A and B are shown apart, each in its own frame.
Chain A
Amino acid sequence: MRRIELAIAALLVSSAVASIAFVVVYVSGADTQALGGTLGAGLALLAAALILASRRLFPSAPAVEERHEFAKPPEDPGATMGPAAERSEGLAGEIESPALQITRRRLLAGAAGVAGTALGAALIVPAASLGPAIDGRLSRSPWSAGIRLVDEDDAPISPARIGERGFVTAFPEGANKRELAAPVIVVRIDPDALDLPAGREGWAPDGLLAYSKICTHAGCAVSIPRSPLYPPQAPRPALVCPCHFSTFDPARGAEVIFGPAGRALPQLPLAIDAEGNLVAAGGLSGDVGPSWRDVEGGT
């Protein structure tokens, strides 16, 4: 009897070892043969342990159950009658009674627990295949000094196209326009009304300003320009996101003046090149899009 129990425990522990080996193989290169071999071994050893337990651990006298006639409802007083407490006790007794005869229950239960946990880990690990680990891609940006701004049709943008009202959406020349950090919004503000954060002198030639078009709250495109009709009384010019109405002040470095956004839109320093078109004078001033763990905040 004891040798059987030790053998079962050994099978269970071996299954755990094989499952852990699967995790190790997955993490270190994921060779297909090794993956299949280790996972197959883990499952096969578990199967062997259970089948061995069922065949050798319990008395093997055959149990007899009477077959019911279909025509009559089965009469099983234990299953349908009596108060709930008695019924649950009866069922619990039925589940536990054969197990009571086992010696070394704790060894077997522990080994089964280890095998089950290891197999669970092995089965959950392939979920990591779903996506890349976080690397630079969440904060990458196609912008740097000297990149020309182009419109949706890849045409360069001359300052004359940008009026005091409305805005122009621009992209880095040659970049994928669907990339999150690509689109910027270009607006014109009276240079005398500008109040940009320190260190941004010269970022706005002739009052032309460029900010990331992706809202720092939830990632929608900031696409509503607020252009006051009667400047002294009406609210300041603003850029508004239509999803949750975060409102940014383009004259002050796109700081948040209303709504839920937690930080300003990153600014793109602008310059005008020899042909008179808009060009980036540097990279974006901060992280694009919604905040996440590694975003430092500020602008």
Chain B
Amino acid sequence: MSRGREVERRAGFTQRAIRWVDDRTGSVPAARKVLRYVFPDHWTFVLGEIALYSFVVLVATGIFLTLFFEPSTSRVTYDGSYGPLQGFTVSKAFASTMDLSFDVKGGLLMRQTHHWAALVFVAAIALHLMRIFFTGAFRKPRDVNYYVGLTMLMIVIVEGYAGYSLLDDLLSGMGLAIGNAVALSFPIFGADLSTLIWDGQFPGSDEFMSRLFIAHVLIFPVLIAGLLSVHLWMVARPHHTQFAGPGKTERNAVGSPLWPIYALRSIGLFFAVAAVLFALGGLIQINPIWQWGPYDPYRATNAAQPDWYLGWLIGALRLMPPLEIRAFGWTLVPNPFFGGALFPLLLFAFLYAWPALERRITGDRRLHNLLDRPRDNPMRTAIGAAVLTFTVIVFFAGSSDRVFLEAGIPYEGQIVALRIAVLVAPVIVFWIVKRTCEDLRRTNAHPLRDFPGRVVRRTPSGGYEPEP
């Protein structure tokens, strides 16, 4: 009896609370709809969520970092607790990052987690983009949302670069020198662009550091957060896509309801992502700037590597032959333009143009809520694989100095071989992938999931016959 009243009283509280909110917001009908929202299930659908939750960790750890970091190029003498650098003249940006790492409790954990989260963030977005591309999820009505996602990816890459460039260590200084050269290399307006950003000649004035800082902690994050909101709203509005299957049509969504199954799983995923990132941040060292040292334009180090998501750009800069277009005493197109600007711009132009291109090629202008398997559209899959091959080979060119140091394969030979491979391999991959997709589509085999062979049985008379 008393137990029943207890339950009633608790239910009464929940209802009273809902009533209180609803009287003031009128949000109950919408909330009921949201709780019953159905998420189709597939393991590739978590990639975007991992990106989202990495962003949450980035914002949280980033706020902590801004409480200690000083974005200033003023020169100070380092006198923190890291012995080998005591007495060195460094910038305040570098010194405050050192203090943050060595003299602030939990500071190094936050800094390293922030860095790891950035790497995972971009990786999750890149894989998410591949999922969207190869399953045709970018088709109408989601093409505009696909453009929103691509725009976020571009901003995120620049945001990450701005972030690790703030520290003013040797590695990031070299990265900024390259960024400056790429800005300078734009035909016609490159020099104006570079002097506007750097406030003069590289390494720039003190204001440059203020600009880099505010871009990293305010302008780009706000842009990302705004686009992210639009992105999620535009995902939810037409509901998620799903693969074809029993009971799944273009007009329904089959999967788990938001409450309680999906919500618990997704919040669980958030904590799992945070767990991995904080464990990485605490256990695996990343970007130890005390080993690189402070930056001056006349210093450099061998085997320097940027964060992974810039590997394709450094690779492109390295692969490009020494071509510079000059005429009438002017340099019309300086060399870094080809690898550092033209290549990424063309790649993104391809990605932006693809939905319209595909509509033109296939003549298919219908709405699509069911996803393609990669084999269902051999042309798209083959073109995507060829472009991906090109990009991945260029990416590996960015590691060729490490390959030389670790494996002793001569650097110049690697570059010559990769210059050939980057032109030949995409053609071969295109052909192989297209043939494979067509075969798979014809036979409807699933080599990764099903047993591909047939069982043969020996008969009592000694012959063999296939099992039905």
**Residues of A in contact with B (beta carbons under 8 Å apart):** 68, 70-73, 127-128, 130-134, 137-138, 140, 169, 171, 177-180, 182-183, 213-214, 217-224, 241-246, 256, 258-263, 289-297
| Chain A CB within 8 A of B303 CB | yes
Known: A131-B197, A293-B188. A220 touches B336 (CB 8 A): no
| Chain A CB within 8 A of B462 CB | no
B412 contacts A258, C-beta separation under 8 Å: yes
Quote the shortest CB–CB distance from A112 to chain B (angstroms).
Answer: 27
Closest to B367 in A: A84
Known: A218-B336, A244-B318. A130 touches B196 (CB 8 A): yes
Quote the shortest CB–CB distance from A295 to chain B (angstroms).
Answer: 5
Q: Across the interface, which residues of B come within 8 angstroms of A259, CB to CB?
A: 318, 322
Q: Across the interface, which residues of B come within 8 angstroms of A72, CB to CB?
A: 29
| Chain A CB within 8 A of B355 CB | no
List the one stretch of B20-28, B122-130, B239-247, B434-442 in contact with chain A: B20-28
Quote the shortest CB–CB distance from B398 to chain A (angstroms).
Answer: 9
| Chain A CB within 8 A of B178 CB | yes
| Chain A CB within 8 A of B214 CB | no
| Chain A CB within 8 A of B287 CB | no
Q: Across the interface, which residues of B come within 8 angstroms of A182, CB to CB?
A: 298
Known: A134-B195, A261-B322, A294-B191. A245 touches B201 (CB 8 A): no
Q: For chain B, which range describes its interface: under 10, 10 to 19, 20 to 34, or 35 or more residues?
A: 35 or more
| Chain A CB within 8 A of B382 CB | no
| Chain A CB within 8 A of B285 CB | no
Known: A219-B180, A289-B202. A131 touches B304 (CB 8 A): no
Q: Across the interface, which residues of B come within 8 angstroms of A133, CB to CB?
A: 192, 195
4 closest A-B pairs by beta carbon, nearest first, are A262-B324, A70-B26, A183-B298, A291-B334
Q: How far is the CA of A263 from the CA of B325 in the complex (A)?
A: 11
B336 contacts A242, C-beta separation under 8 Å: no
A242 contacts B301, C-beta separation under 8 Å: yes
B203 contacts A220, C-beta separation under 8 Å: no
| Chain A CB within 8 A of B274 CB | no
Listed by A's residue number, 7 A-B pairs whose Cβ atoms lie within 8 Å are A70-B25, A72-B29, A127-B196, A180-B201, A217-B336, A242-B302, A245-B411
A260 contacts B321, C-beta separation under 8 Å: yes
Q: How far is the CA of A132 from the CA of B136 in the complex (A)?
A: 47
A134 contacts B191, C-beta separation under 8 Å: yes
Known: A220-B174, A292-B191. A260 touches B203 (CB 8 A): no
| Chain A CB within 8 A of B339 CB | yes
Q: Which of B177, B181, B340, B401 has the most CB of A within 10 A?
A: B181
Q: Across the interface, which residues of B come within 8 angstroms of A297, CB to CB?
A: 324, 326, 331
Known: A169-B298, A242-B302, A262-B323. A220 touches B331 (CB 8 A): no
Q: How far is the CA of A262 from the CA of B317 in the complex (A)?
A: 12
Q: Which residues of chain B in 147-199 are interfacial with respect to chain A, using CB atoms and an 8 Å cutoff?
A: 174, 177-178, 180-182, 184-185, 187-188, 190-192, 194-199
A178 contacts B192, C-beta separation under 8 Å: no
Q: Which of A133, A260, A261 has the most CB of B within 10 A?
A: A260
Q: How far is the CA of A73 from the CA of B30 in the complex (A)?
A: 8
Q: Which residues of chain B in 1-43 are interfacial with respect to chain A, using CB atoms and an 8 Å cutoff?
A: 22-23, 25-26, 28-29
| Chain A CB within 8 A of B409 CB | no
| Chain A CB within 8 A of B297 CB | yes
Closest to B180 in A: A219
Known: A217-B181, A260-B339, A292-B185. A138 touches B195 (CB 8 A): yes
B334 contacts A292, C-beta separation under 8 Å: yes
Q: Across the interface, which residues of B come within 8 angstroms of A223, CB to CB?
A: 299-302
Known: A262-B323, A292-B184. A177 touches B298 (CB 8 A): yes
Closest to A214 in B: B297
Q: How far is the CA of A171 from the CA of B196 in the complex (A)?
A: 27
Quote the shortest CB–CB distance from A135 to chain B (angstroms).
Answer: 9
Quote the shortest CB–CB distance from A257 to chain B (angstroms).
Answer: 10
Q: Across the interface, which residues of A come within 8 angstroms of B145, CB to CB?
A: none
Q: How far is the CA of A224 from the CA of B404 in the complex (A)?
A: 14
Q: Across the interface, which residues of B come within 8 angstroms of A221, CB to CB?
A: 174, 297-300
Quote the shortest CB–CB distance from A184 to chain B (angstroms).
Answer: 9
The residue that A219 contacts in the complex, of B181, B188, B326, B339, with Cβ under 8 A, is B181
A260 contacts B331, C-beta separation under 8 Å: no
A295 contacts B181, C-beta separation under 8 Å: no
Q: How far is the CA of A177 from the CA of B340 in the complex (A)?
A: 28
Closest to A293 in B: B191
Quote the shortest CB–CB distance from B253 to chain A (angstroms).
Answer: 18
Closest to A183 in B: B298
| Chain A CB within 8 A of B288 CB | no
| Chain A CB within 8 A of B200 CB | yes
Contact with A along B274-309 (1 / 0, CB 8 A): 000000000000000000000011111111100000
Q: How far is the CA of A241 from the CA of B318 in the complex (A)?
A: 11
Known: A291-B185, A297-B326. A220 touches B23 (CB 8 A): no
Q: How far is the CA of A263 from the CA of B336 in the complex (A)?
A: 12
Q: Across the interface, which residues of B come within 8 angstroms of A219, CB to CB?
A: 177-178, 180-181, 202, 297
